[in-house]
Structure 1
């Protein structure tokens, strides 16, 4: 029988599950599901019956579940039906206990059999007037237990036993002087009892966890330690915590200052009251002395001289003050008849409009100039004209200067006023080849050259040369090329196109033309030689002679020419 293999998936909180009641499940279907259901092992079907695999699967399902240990129930002989009546009434508090007054305010330590045997043995050695009672013994033992629990709360863990000298100050407060004489002997008995019980408390109390591994299965552990997950601290959280602490510190400091200032205020009030009381007593003494001596008058010092409060003047509005001040003016009656209104002239109105328009235009011009300040528009047809570049202040124009030569004795006075350039010894020979560039306009001013002197490294002197541009480049006349392409249209004359044969485009075009087209006479001679050779060959063939070697077999075809 092949069983179904179903991989059980984990439950998901987002996946809805159907809830079925007991009466909604068919018994036969449930039995078939439980029998046929088999969890996938993750191995091949032939290896599922292997012995070690089956043992491992069985032991994996027998994992011990962690449960909180609970003490077994114990039978009690207390009859709760007699203590609590049947008709239940809800109490004011949910916690109810039944203890006597002695249990609430009396001693909480109860003697054991060992304590009873020790007390009998201890009293047997003492005289009848110095014997210790059971109540006093219990009080002493309770005082030892309280001091040990307060001063050494973890004595059961680190096995620390409190010394007798550390308990004496507390015992003097709790116990009576007549009982303190027995405390030293009782301490040795208490110490022996504590050591026998592992330095634990002598009276039964709540049991706390001492070690997590050893007390894990102890059902009587009341409070267990829990692992607190540390919250992830970030820099923002640290900043928030610091801000909260600063705010709390500030609020506490402000509250403290308020309390200190309130105290100082109350102290000043107390000093003022004491000063008033002293003044009153001194005035009473002065009054008695005046009566006794019969002095009359000068009683102003016996009363408090307080200046009368000044009356506040009512604020009068400024409008009422202006109306009330000044002489009273009587209103003159308005003459009868319509009121004449001066009509504005048309000329004045037009002049005012023109003035406003002119001022508006000037304002816009000024705003436009401010807007275009320190701005150069290099686009096509700029709105503000492009200014010529200013001359560099570090360059200076070079001017030719000639050495002054002393004039000859026979020279006239006219030639001695202006120096003349010196003649060279030999003339410069003319160049064999001369390149002529674009013609220079004689009317254009000569281009000046500017020089600049600067000192470089190692104090070397450098002279920089730079040509200067003219202040304003000459512009061609708009009518200069008006008749450039205007020619007479005549039927007799063929159109002539003026082309520069030495232009770069023309030279490049001529370089691409084949050599046969460049020399037509050479091509004609080749054709004539070929025709003569062909005629000689035909004549030899008619005479029965073999043709000469090297004769062409076919005349070359002439190249086609475009008409």
Structure 2
């Protein structure tokens, strides 16, 4: 194909382009450039010098362009609003109904000339009041067509004709008084027409491609099969495809042989089971005959499944040293016979205990190494946790009592008086209930601090003293409930004489 003499190159920002004014361009050169740039011959370069082609190319730029005669627009005195009145009203919604077009246009079957001739001859045989109208005829034919399409969609292939009894279900939806007297005769007409067209639908339908050879040149065939263009194959791809096919063929053949072998194995198993069953039944019959005839012989002939003797495994040949000339039995120093020393149970238990002890010590050592340089704040830590140091400014006060000389006369609890000896002693109770022993050592002893304030005054600060009980508050009705609270003190009173009474805290509110 011919190419232009001037080949335009792609513009680049790095290539300088000359800028020319109109007076700097030669007119002849400009005309040659424009003609060569816009005219493409469309033929090979060797045929561009052909005489007729050159004449056409020379006359292409000289001849005037032809225009299509189109009438120009003209102003009209007629008004569209006067001719067409605006009677359209705006609806509340854009959707007026949701029915399809087929449901709105009514009957889909159209009568043909054959149907008109049949209906005319059919009505001549009946009274004017019993004649069939064109609309009812089309409705009956439509019911027949729809029923045949549902019941026998491939009727054109297997030549299946729907019977009249199957058509009655669709006719019940029509007006029975008008349709049913004529349904049988119309069915015969419909059946005749269907057989005439090869049992194809009578409706006007799109024609699809049924046979590629016969429908190839038919212009009314729609939706033809799309021809898929095969990709070009190289030689390497052909070799790969052949290898894949060979491998697939081999795998399929191996699978087939496995299936056949499995089938033969199952057949042999079934035959073996039958033979074993027959042998078992014959043995049972033989036993019955021997018992009935009183034959007392051995039953070894009835046993055919004897255990097979297994061959002893051959021991590996080991080169043994030559036997000594004199065989001597070793004798122990204590005179006991030589035999393998038996392991005692106590030794085994001691060995296991030692292993467990070593394992536990190793785990403890590993845990200690793991917790090294760490403080364990969990419950029950392995190492003690040092709490916060107490404030050095406060010191606990220890109570000390001075020594008191012994009394000159014995007190009553130490030595009884003569009058007390005459009094009968009360028997000691067998059971005595005591409260929970309390530790005299307080958990939080009071702390004191000495400091010097203004004007050199000495101050003693106390901390940790029990707070005094709060005064009783009045109840909701205004009366103090002191008596009720004090009466409950005996329930929690400690009967121990040698323990000090702890202060009773009264709850200020209920």
TM-score norm. by structure 1 comes to 0.28
Larger Rg over CA atoms = 1
TM-score norm. by structure 2 comes to 0.30
